[in-house]
Structure 1
Amino acid sequence: MRSAGISIGSEMSGGVSNVTVENVTVWSSRRAVRIKTAVGRGGYVRHIMYRNLTFDDARVGIVIKTDYNEHPDMDFDKNAFPILENISFTGIHGQGVRVPVRIHGSEEIPVRNVTFRDMNVGITYKKKHIFQCAFVQGRVIGTIFPAPCENLDIYDEEERPVKLSTAQNVTDIDYGV
């Protein structure tokens, strides 16, 4: 298996924004889509749109990882926290995916305003929490499979609220906005 089909990071000091990835098939991959960063990287990942992606035989479909702690030395700014926000996934389909979504933000680096719409990813491995999330805030529009984590607000196809998240691991953080 190859490492990652589509990857952003880990060096983020300059930032990545306004990127659209569409009409891509990723097969036989450890991670189909990956965004990786860590404390000390700084910068931002924002306004990223993924549309019409197909995953075939991937260990993890979508992974956003904020603890990618590879630094060339220990002389990095431990107060440089990257910003991850406004990331959308629309038209994501696939089969043979072990874990469709794994988003692991942290208290220092929360993942904000993630949107999922029109997602149906067949799984090969049954685990209690297939859609894995920590320190993430966002929404699901319409019906997606597998079921999303509790951190995400649920909206119908017309974008009317159905169920708002009660998870407190991101909403209590002051973003200075």
Structure 2
Amino acid sequence: MSGGVSDVLVENALIWNSRRAVRIKTAPGRGGYVRNILYHNLTFDNLRVGIVIKTDYNEHPDSGYDPMARPALENITFAGIHGQLVRVPVRIEGSDEIPVKNVEFRDLSVGLSYKKKHVFQCSHVSGRVIGSVFPAPCMNLDLYDEAGRLVRQSVSSNASDIDYDF
């Protein structure tokens, strides 16, 4: 990943009986980028977490890495995501050093298996939700209607509603 990953399409997949369905993980010291990723037409069934983006994974192959090498995560789209029995449908953990930028959710509906206060969790993320998304998205994301009109602008991309007890 240190060199970068871009222009990836993942589509028409069923993920079931798993801890996680979609997972992007990185950490300070990795450098590179993850950008222009599209997840389309995914079905989740019986998962602990549906979508995870984590920027503090802190695993390195050796001690010779540059801790100041910061990866860039941007332009990641989730469209046509549906499913059932998911504890936490979305968990995006950016940080001050590595914010997650320009994330888009469109046509997402995931039934929950466990009632929690925060089931759509975000920290240090910016982007948008277009149209119908269930459960309710985090406040870090701008909300647009189906016609592309802004309904609610995000207050802060740095707000955190991560619930570590799941």
Q: State the TM-score, normalizing by the size of structure 2.
A: 0.93
Aligned-pair distance for 1:168? 4.9
Distance (Å, rounded) in 1 between the aligned partners of 2:77 and 2:97: 21
The unaligned stretches of length 5 or more in structure 1 are 1-11, 171-177
Distance (Å, rounded) in 2 between the aligned partners of 1:49 and 1:152: 18
Residue 52 (structure 1) aligns with: 41
Secondary structure of the corresponding residue to residue 71 of structure 1: coil
What are the residue-to-residue correspondences of 1:95-114 with 2, within 5 Å? 95-114=84-103
Residue 91 of structure 1 pairs with residue 71 of structure 2: no
The unaligned stretches of length 5 or more in structure 2 are 160-166
Residue 26 (structure 1) aligns with: 15
Kindly indicate whether the alpha-carbon contact (under 8 Å) linking 2:125 and 2:157 is maintained by their aligned counterparts in 1.
no
What are the residue-to-residue correspondences of 1:30-41 with 2, within 5 Å? 30-41=19-30
Residue 76 (structure 1) aligns with: 65
Match of 1:155 among 136, 144, 150: 144
Distance (Å, rounded) in 1 between the aligned partners of 2:151 and 2:52: 26
Kindly indicate whether the alpha-carbon contact (under 8 Å) linking 2:142 and 2:154 is maintained by their aligned counterparts in 1.
yes
Residue 43 (structure 1) aligns with: 32
Residue 134 (structure 1) aligns with: 123
Distance (Å, rounded) in 2 between the aligned partners of 1:72 and 1:49: 28
Residue 144 (structure 1) aligns with: 133
How large is the RMSD of aligned CA atoms in angstroms?
1.0
Q: What number of residue pairs does the alignment pair up? A: 159
Distance (Å, rounded) in 2 between the aligned partners of 1:67 and 1:136: 14
Distance (Å, rounded) in 1 between the aligned partners of 2:22 and 2:106: 16
Residue 66 of structure 1 pairs with residue 48 of structure 2: no
Kindly indicate whether the alpha-carbon contact (under 8 Å) linking 2:141 and 2:157 is maintained by their aligned counterparts in 1.
no
Aligned-pair distance for 1:169? 1.9
